A and B are shown apart, each in its own frame.
Chain A
Amino acid sequence: MKCTRCKQKAVVALPSHNAGFCASCFLLYFQNQMEKAIKKQKMFSPRHKILVALSGGKDSLALALQLKLLGYNLECLHLDLDISDTSKQVKTIAQRFCERFELKLHIIELKKENLSIPEVKKKLSRPICSACGQIKRYYFNYFAKQNNFDVLATGHTLDDEVSRLFANTLRWDITYLQQQSPILEQDQEFVRKVKPLYRLTEFETAVFCFLHNIQYSTIPCPYSKGASFTFYKRLLDELEYNQPGRKFNFYETFLKQKSQLFPPSTSKNKINFCSICGYPTLQDICGVCRIKKMLSKTS
């Protein structure tokens, strides 16, 4: 197979784009897709201060490096979840990556916040994935606001967005469908959230990391076994294989038609501020403070 752009030998085949690329043309394609996402969705500009949520997996590492290569002003935040050996390994990967590419890395240790994830799992009656997501969103937003970042960038890829859209559609969850977007605008105390990788797939971030010789974590979260999103991803992969480009088309068409199909709700819930930490919430105490309270009661 030859590179569609320069006719050298290709190292990557992308049937969804009816193309193949050599290493250097693939990296240009990757950069172009991210730049297109940033510009099309008006995510941020070089004058903005960006916080990248860095998990240590391939997607967030690829995001951080590509933003750096494009000259954006960014720093990274890693959350240490305190999950046995897994958290230590991913933290080391994040630290080595940031040293190598001269990126400023901040680390929040949830154990020091009395929110060690295994402890939360032991004592919480609801699924740990939802609580863990809630805690992560809280700290990423809190840190970004406290340190005057304009934008929080996450490594969600096209595969993540499509499987989420698929799950929301299966449930016809109108509220979630209204909200799903590669950009969530700043609202009251919430920082603007963006997903610059939404036009790129997990396969493409893996290729990007390989070509830049980036070591990334492949350790699965020990608590994610049986999660529905992995099942949806498998189903969608079969669809993509038989109809190349279907994932991208499904998501792009959704974005184009969203405002007509799922117009934003005009009724707004009254936002309170948590009486303990000041975080925006629909109740008197925010979800994370409620978890902390519950843990202190049962310890």
Chain B
Amino acid sequence: MKVIVEPENHILELFKIKSVKALLNRLQLYPFQALVIRDNQLLTPDEKLFPNDTVIIRKVVSRG
């Protein structure tokens, strides 16, 4: 699965991640710290993810 982490625009290739919750855990983020976007749709933590997905992680914390 391809993961784009914003705002840094880091691109990661991650494997064996089956849900949004698991992806956020892997990235050490709480669900309210980032929007999770696939095909321009927001995903809730219970959503399943698939190996061919491209997912955007848009962190939301203001940094000054």
Contacts and interface: CB of A to CB of B under 8 A. Distances in A.
B54 interface: no
B58 to A, nearest CB: 7
Contact of B62 (A13, A20, A57, A211): A57
A220 B60 contact: no
Interface stretch (A90-98, A113-121, A221-229, A283-291): A221-229
A76 B8 CA distance: 29
Nearest to A2: B44
A1 interface: yes
Among the interface residues B7, B32, B46, B60, which one has the most CB atoms of the partner chain A within 10 A?
Answer: B32
A224 B64 contact: yes
B61 A207 contact: no
A227 B58 CA distance: 22
Contact of B64 (A13, A15, A23, A221): A221
Interface stretch (A33-41, A182-190, A233-241, A254-262): A233-241
B45 A203 contact: no
Nearest to A16: B32
Interface residues of A, number: 35
A59 interface: yes
Among the interface residues A10, A13, A205, which one has the most CB atoms of the partner chain B within 10 A?
Answer: A13
Given A11-B42, A13-B45, A218-B7, A223 B64 contact: yes
Among the interface residues A11, A206, A241, which one has the most CB atoms of the partner chain B within 10 A?
Answer: A206
Interface residues of B, number: 21
Given A218-B6, A221-B63, A230-B63, A210 B45 contact: no
Contacts of B15: none
Question: Interface majority SS on A: helix, strand, loop or mixed?
Answer: helix
A202 B62 contact: yes
B35 interface: yes
Contacts, number: 69
Interface string A1-45: 100000000111101000010010000000000000000000000
A72 B58 CA distance: 30
Given A58-B60, A202-B62, A223-B64, A11 B41 contact: yes
Contacts of B37: 210
Contacts of B58: 206, 210
A206 B60 CA distance: 6
Interface in B1-43: 6-7, 30-33, 35, 37, 41-43
B63 A224 contact: yes
Interface in A196-220: 201-203, 205-207, 210-211, 218-220
Contacts of A223: 64
Given A13-B31, A23-B42, A203-B32, 18 more contacts: A1-B44, A1-B46, A10-B44, A11-B41, A13-B46, A15-B31, A160-B62, A203-B33, A203-B35, A205-B60, A210-B35, A210-B37, A210-B42, A219-B7, A220-B64, A223-B64, A233-B61, A240-B30
Interface of B: 6-7, 30-33, 35, 37, 41-46, 58-64
10 interchain residue pairs of minimum CB distance: A224-B64, A220-B63, A218-B7, A221-B64, A206-B60, A11-B42, A203-B32, A13-B44, A241-B30, A1-B44
